[in-house]
Structure 1
């Protein structure tokens, strides 16, 4: 399940993608994305540490994408904020942990189903760039993320 933190991160990344090369102040992002300002600060730190956002202090400072929106995959943003996409740890590629009560993970039908679910989710989220997502957002809500 997608956390509110990941939803806010995706809104923020979408707003930055839609802002082009312009740097956007955190206050403006919080207002436009309807994200609590303090929570946004935490999210921006995580996005910066993951290499998605660059920040500059000062009069001409603000936040911008660290690389082109076409190069950023939605699945990678979600993983940076929420961790693995797998619905359960035993189905994770990167954070595998067997269930304590499972006698044989290789013969577990639930694990097989959750791995299939993870693969389908990954295919969709990793197949979508931030640019495609931001363009779809703009088509659905043309003025919501515009900055003055």
Structure 2
């Protein structure tokens, strides 16, 4: 299950991706339109800024704006940034692997084999779906690629 923080991060990014390139939104605008607590949103946007996904602008026309195009930001990248590895089991993580404490033989673990398929499908969908894909699908009333089942 993804965290509330990750959901808020994705909603904030979708809001920023909807506006014209180079246009900024104030934190208050994003917080209100997306029903995100403002203080929590400030922390999230700082994390996204540190990773180069968004940037901020001071002054009268200030606020936050996308640093990268919506087609260059995948849901998988955002989820990993906020929540960490996508793997459902520690022995399946590509970036934070460690053997399960109660496992003596990974290659014979039936549970691992099932969840390896889940992890691969999850990674494929999240890494293959960008902010731009979600905007296009929503606007056209379609599903997101890979999710039309």
TM over 0.5: yes
1:23 partner SS: coil
Residues 9-18 or 89-98, more deviating? 89-98
Provide the rounded CA distance (Å) in 2 between the counterparts of 1:138 and 1:44. 25
Off by >4 Å, runs of 4+ in structure 1: none
2:10 partner SS: helix
* CA RMSD of superposed structures (Å): 1.3
2:20 partner SS: coil
Map of 1:2 onto structure 2 = 2
Provide the rounded CA distance (Å) in 1 between the counterparts of 2:20 and 2:11. 15
Aligned residues: 140
List gaps (5 residues or longer) in structure 1.
Answer: 141-148
List gaps (5 residues or longer) in structure 2.
Answer: 142-149
TM-score (norm 2): 0.88
| Greater length-normalized contact order (CA 8 Å, ≥ 6 residues apart) | 1
TM-score (norm 1): 0.88
Q: 1:115 to 1:123 in 2, by over 3 A?
A: same
